[in-house]
Amino acid sequence: MSDVQRPLLQALREGARERAKAGRAGGVSWARRIAPAPVLLRLLTALTLFTASELAVPPEWAGTGFYAALAALLALAAALAPAGPAVFVAIGFTIAAWLVSDALDGDRSPTLWTAAGLACLLYTGHSAAAVAQRFRTTTAMDGEIILTWAKHLGLVLASTVGIALTLALFTAYFTGLTAGLAVGAGIVAAVTVIYVLARSLHKTP
């Protein structure tokens, strides 16, 4: 190595060390400033959307590496970018997988509780993302916002389960329609409460 190249190589090494130190310091600073509520909402978004996608298909589909990896990737994208289209893509993927798997598997018919479970999981993921998108991971959230969201979420989940229970009691009268009615009721309830939740959050100072 020539005398000219030696100082250049040393300067490159020192520069790399300084950048590494700055990166570590920035990471530690971000970790110290992180707010738990927005992060937990994002984790909830990913977990519920992934669980819904696994519930929507038969076990032989859910256990395949490609399907599980794709479902996990879409759920993670929705959690990392709750304000973008990733949430709707993940929800659309789950609904499409449910419909396609039911259409291809003639021996598997949609069940009331699968429909109710999907409605609950998808609404939970969507509503968590709707709240999380308003806050950065380093922004502290007012406890009143979390409480308002939790109340409305509980209302939707309880109403969905209540409707499913009512239909289950009269399943002989709703043969072939239970799953569709449960999904329809879940969608109506979700849209209604999303609107109420949005107004509540908008009014929160």
Kindly report, residue by residue over 1-54, the tens digit of the pLDDT. Answer: 555 455 555 656 666 666 655 555 454 454 556 778 888 999 999 999 999 999
CA distances from residue 153 to 128, 140, 194 in whole angstroms, order as listed: 9, 21, 9
Question: Mind listing the pLDDT tens digit for each residue in 194-203?
Answer: 555 555 544 4
Give the pLDDT confidence score for residue 93 in this predicted structure. Answer: 92
With CA atoms as reference, report the closest residue to 52 among 131, 158, 133, 124.
124
Tell me how far apart the alpha carbons of residues 179 and 15 are, in angstroms, rounded to a whole number. Answer: 62
Retrieve residue 55's tokens: 């519930």
Retrieve residue 88's tokens: 């709707």
Task: Assign 72 a pLDDT band (cuts: 50, 70, 90).
Answer: very high
Total Cβ atoms within 10 A of residue 171: 11
Q: State the DSSP string of 8-72.
A: HHHHHHHHHHHHHHHHHHHHHHHHHH--HHHHHHHHHHHHHHHHHHHHTS-HHHHTSHHHHHHHH
With CA atoms as reference, report the closest residue to 198 among 148, 160, 159.
148
pTM of the predicted protein model: 0.69
DSSP secondary structure letter of residue 141 = P
Retrieve residue 193's tokens: 């409460």
